[in-house]
Structure 1
Amino acid sequence: MPKPLIGVTTYLDPAKWGVWEMPAALLPEAYPRLVQASGGLAAMLPPDAPSVAAEVVARLDGLVVAGGADVDPSRYGADRDPRTGPAATARDDWELALIGAALEKGTPVLGICRGMQLLNVALGGTLLQHLDGHTGGVGVLGAHTVKPVPGTRYASLVGEATTVPTYHHQAVDRLGEGLVECAHAEDGTVEALELPGAPWALGVQWHPEMGDDLRVMRGLVAASS
Structure 2
Amino acid sequence: MTTYLQNARHGVWDHEAAVLPRSYVDVVVQVGGSPLLLPPVDEVDPDVIGVLDGLVLSGGGDVDPARYGAEPHPRTGGTSAVRDRAEETLLRAALAAGVPVLGVCRGMQVLNVALGGTLVQHLPDVVGHEGHQPAPATFGRTRVRLDEGSLLGGVFGAETEVRCYHHQAVDVLSPELVAVGRAGDGTLEAVELRGPRFAVGVQWHPEVDGDDCRLFQALVNAASGRTT
Regarding TM over 0.5, the answer is yes
**Between structures 1 and 2, the one with greater strand share:** 1
TM-score range, shorter chain: over 0.9
Q: Which sections of structure 2, spanning at least 5 residues, go unmatched?
A: 125-130
Q: Which sections of structure 1, spanning at least 5 residues, go unmatched?
A: 1-7
Residue number in structure 1 paired with 2:160: 162
**Preserved contact between residue 147 and residue 158 of structure 2 (Cα < 8 Å):** no
Q: 1:181 aligned to 2:179?
A: yes
Q: Percent identity?
A: 51
**Equivalent residue for 1:130, pick from 122, 134, 140:** 122
- 1:75-112, CA deviations, whole angstroms, 9 ceiling, x for partnerless residues? 01111111101421111010011101101111100000
What is the CA-CA distance between 1:182 and the residue it aligns to? 1.0
Residue number in structure 2 paired with 1:144: 142
Structure 1 length-normalised TM: 0.93
- 1:45-71, CA deviations, whole angstroms, 9 ceiling, x for partnerless residues? 01124450x211111000000000000
Residue number in structure 1 paired with 2:193: 195
Structure 2 length-normalised TM: 0.92
**Equivalent residue for 2:108, pick from 101, 113, 116:** 116
Read off the aligned partner of 1:168 and give its amino acid letter. Answer: H
What is the CA-CA distance between 1:162 and the residue it aligns to? 1.5
- Report matched runs for 1:22-61 at 5 Å: 22-52=15-45, 54-61=46-53
Residue number in structure 1 paired with 2:7: 14
DSSP-derived class of the 1:41 partner: coil
DSSP-derived class of the 1:45 partner: coil
What is the CA-CA distance between 1:163 and the residue it aligns to? 1.2
Whole-angstrom CA distance in 2 between matches of 1:214 and 1:153: 15
Residue number in structure 1 paired with 2:128: none
Whole-angstrom CA distance in 1 between matches of 2:190 and 2:200: 7
**Preserved contact between residue 28 and residue 216 of structure 2 (Cα < 8 Å):** yes
- 1:161-212, CA deviations, whole angstroms, 9 ceiling, x for partnerless residues? 1111100000001111220011110101000100132331000000001112
Moved more, 42-51 or 126-135: 42-51
**Preserved contact between residue 136 and residue 143 of structure 1 (Cα < 8 Å):** no
Whole-angstrom CA distance in 2 between matches of 1:96 and 1:209: 21
Whole-angstrom CA distance in 1 between matches of 2:183 and 2:212: 17
Residue number in structure 1 paired with 2:214: 215
Moved more, 98-107 or 128-137: 128-137
**Preserved contact between residue 116 and residue 203 of structure 1 (Cα < 8 Å):** yes
Count, aligned residues:
217
What is the CA-CA distance between 1:137 and the residue it aligns to? 0.6
Whole-angstrom CA distance in 2 between matches of 1:164 and 1:207: 7
What is the root-mean-square deviation of aligned Cα atoms in Å?
1.1
DSSP-derived class of the 2:37 partner: strand
DSSP-derived class of the 1:44 partner: coil
What is the CA-CA distance between 1:17 and the residue it aligns to? 1.4
State the 4+ residue runs in structure 1 displaced beyond 2 angstroms: 48-51, 196-199
Whole-angstrom CA distance in 2 between matches of 1:213 and 1:170: 24
Whole-angstrom CA distance in 1 between matches of 2:205 and 2:107: 11
Whole-angstrom CA distance in 1 between matches of 2:193 and 2:59: 19
Read off the aligned partner of 1:19 and give its amino acid letter. Answer: V
